[in-house]
Structures are given as C-alpha cells and as structure tokens.
Amino acid sequence: MPEIDTTLQADGNSHQAITAENFTPSGDIAGTAVEKRSVELALVVQSAQSARDFLLNKQWNLLWR
C-alpha cells in the first residue's frame, strides 16, 4: 500500500489579486501550470478567509440581539 504524504505544499502566492484576466470566458483558470496553481491556491485561501470572516461577523451580530 502506498504511503500517504500528509504535508501541505504551497506553490504560489496565496494573497495575489484575482482578476478577470486569470480566467477564460468559460470560467476555467487561464495560464501556465505554475500560474494555475497560484490562482487555485489564492482562490482556496481567500475563500476560506471570507467564510471565516462571515461566520465571525454573523456570530458577533447574533450575540448583540
């Protein structure tokens, strides 16, 4: 049975600005393999941060009702 690698590897800038230029008209990520990994990483990290901020703000608002 193959061994599972549990380390996280980050290729790219997780805080880069994501613009329309990073995507094709059909919504796929445009660019080379390295550029795609960087955009994918930024999408995941920034989406997680937005979700966390939303939940924290929502919880704070609920406590003040």
Per residue in 28-63, pLDDT (tens digit) is 999 998 888 889 989 999 999 999 998 888 876 777
Domains: count for the chain: 1
Residue 10 lies in a domain: no
Domain that holds residue 51: 20-63
Residue 39 lies in a domain: yes
- Assess whether pLDDT exceeds 90 at residue 64: no
Higher pLDDT, 59 or 7: 59
Residue 2 lies in a domain: no
The token pair at 59 is: 């919880």
Residue 15 lies in a domain: no
Residue 3 lies in a domain: no
Span between the terminal Cα atoms of the chain, in Å: 54
Residue 42 lies in a domain: yes
